[in-house]
C-alpha cells in the first residue's frame, strides 16, 4: 500500500471520543508510517491502539471518585525527577519529569513489584488508592512541561508486552492541546478523564500549551483476551540507574 493511500485510509476512519489522526507535523514523522507496512506484511494479530476503561478496567472508578485527593497531592510534589531516557529527537522543549510510586520488571512476575517508600510517604492518599487496584504493575505522576512533545517510542518488552497503560488527566490545560499519538491515532487528555492505550505500540505525548500538564500513569495487567504486546528490547541501563538512585 502506498503511503498516500494509507494516509487516506487512516484519516477516513470514524472513531469515537476525540480519537482521530492529527495532521500537524508535531504529531508524526515519516518513520511513523513504516509501522503500518510492517503489520500489513506480517499479518499477525494486532491489539487496538486505545480501549474504553469502563469495559476492561471498571475498577478505575476509584480514581475518579477520589480525584481531588490525587490532584492535591500531585500539585504539592516538589521532588520531580527528569525522565532518564532521551525522547526529544523531534525537537521542542525537553521538559518531562516524573514522580514514581511503583515498578515491576518483568511485569509478568509479581514477585518483582517494588514500591518506592520515599514517594509513597509523601503521597499517602494516592498510595492507599493505588494499592486497592488489582493487577497494578506501574504507577507514577507525570509532568509534561509547556510546549513539550515527546518523540516516537515504544515501551520495553519486559513491561509493555504484559500490560496496558492508563493516563488519568489531573491538570490538563487548553482544549485539545494535550494528548497522545498512537500509531496514527490521537486521543486528547482531559481533566478527570481516563485514557487507556497499548504502550507496546509506537506512541508519543504532546503538550502544546504554555502551562504544565499533569497525569497519573499506571500500568495494569493486560487482559487475557487481548493479544500480547509487540515491543522489542528490555528496559535500559539508564532506567535501572534512575530506579536505583533517584529517590534513595
Query: What CATH number does residue 177 fall under?
Result: 2.60.120.330
| Strands 96-103 and 114-115, bridge-based pairing | antiparallel
pLDDT in the model for residue 26? 45
Residue 192 maps to a domain: yes
Does 59 reside within a domain? yes
CB 16 within 8 A of CB 82: no
Confidence of residue 14 (pLDDT cuts 50, 70, 90): very low
Task: Tell me: pLDDT of 22 over 60.
Answer: no
- Split into its structural domains, the chain has a count of 1
Interval 40-76: pLDDT, tens = 445 556 789 999 999 999 999 999 999 999 999 999 9
Asked whether residue 229 is domain-assigned, the answer is yes
Among 39-48, 82-91, 115-124, 193-202, which stretch is predicted with the lowest mean pLDDT?
39-48
Q: Inform me whether the pLDDT recorded for 241 exceeds 90.
A: no
Model pLDDT, residue 4: 44
Q: Whole-angstrom Cα distance, residue 110 to residue 160?
A: 15
In a domain, 10, yes or no: no
Q: Over the stretch 119-175, which tens digit does the pLDDT of each residue have?
A: 999 999 999 999 999 999 999 999 999 999 998 989 999 999 999 999 999 999 999
Domain that holds residue 219: 15-245
Sorted by sequence, the CB contacts under 8 Å of residue 73 that are 6+ apart come out as 122, 123, 125, 126
> What pLDDT shows up at residue 43?
55
Is 85 in contact with 150 (CB distance < 8 Å)?
Answer: no
Which residues have a Cβ under 8 Å from the Cβ of 10 and sit 6 or more positions away?
A: 21, 36, 184, 185
C-alpha to C-alpha distance for 62 and 149, rounded to whole angstroms: 30
Query: Residue 245: what pLDDT?
Result: 76
Judge whether 2 lies within some domain: no
* Alpha carbons 162 and 136: distance in angstroms, whole number: 11
Picking from 121, 88, 32, the residue whose alpha carbon sits closest to that of residue 207 is 88
Question: Domain for residue 126, yes or no?
Answer: yes
- 123, 73 in Cβ contact below 8 A? yes
In a domain, 96, yes or no: yes
First to last CA, the chain: 51
The pLDDT of residue 44 is 59
* pLDDT value of residue 83: 85
- In which band, very low, low, confident or very high, does the pLDDT at 36 lie, cut at 50, 70 and 90? very low
In this structure, is residue 241 part of a structural domain? yes
pLDDT at 9 over 50: no
Contact 211, 156 (CB under 8 A): no
Average pLDDT, the chain: 84
Amino acid at each position: 500500500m502506498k503511503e498516500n493511500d494509507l494516509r487516506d485510509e487512516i484519516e477516513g476512519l470514524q472513531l469515537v471520543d476525540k480519537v482521530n489522526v492529527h495532521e500537524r507535523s508535531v504529531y508524526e514523522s515519516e518513520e511513523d508510517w513504516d509501522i503500518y507496512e510492517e503489520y500489513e506484511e506480517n499479518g499477525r494479530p494486532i491489539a487496538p491502539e486505545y480501549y474504553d476503561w469502563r469495559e476492561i478496567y471498571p475498577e478505575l472508578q476509584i480514581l475518579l471518585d477520589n480525584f481531588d485527593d490525587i490532584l492535591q497531592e500531585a500539585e504539592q510534589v516538589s521532588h520531580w525527577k527528569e525522565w532518564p531516557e532521551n525522547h526529544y529527537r523531534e525537537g521542542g522543549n525537553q521538559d518531562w519529569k516524573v514522580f514514581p510510586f511503583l515498578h515491576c520488571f518483568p511485569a509478568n512476575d509479581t514477585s518483582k513489584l517494588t514500591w518506592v517508600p520515599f514517594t509513597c510517604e509523601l503521597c499517602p492518599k494516592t498510595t492507599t488508592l493505588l494499592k486497592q487496584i488489582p493487577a497494578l504493575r506501574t504507577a507514577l505522576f507525570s509532568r509534561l512541561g509547556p510546549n513539550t512533545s515527546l518523540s516516537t517510542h515504544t515501551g520495553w518488552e519486559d513491561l509493555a508486552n504484559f500490560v496496558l497503560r492508563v493516563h488519568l488527566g489531573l491538570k490538563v490545560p487548553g482544549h485539545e492541546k494535550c494528548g497522545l499519538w498512537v500509531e496514527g491515532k490521537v486521543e486528547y487528555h482531559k481533566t478527570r478523564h481516563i485514557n487507556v492505550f497499548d504502550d507496546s505500540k509506537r506512541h508519543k505525548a504532546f503538550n502544546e500549551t504554555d502551562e504544565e500538564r499533569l497525569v497519573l500513569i499506571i500500568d495494569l495487567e493486560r487482559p487475557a483476551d487481548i493479544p500480547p504486546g509487540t515491543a522489542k528490547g528490555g528496559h535500559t541501563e539508564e532506567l535501572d540507574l534512575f530506579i536505583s538512585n533517584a529517590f534513595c
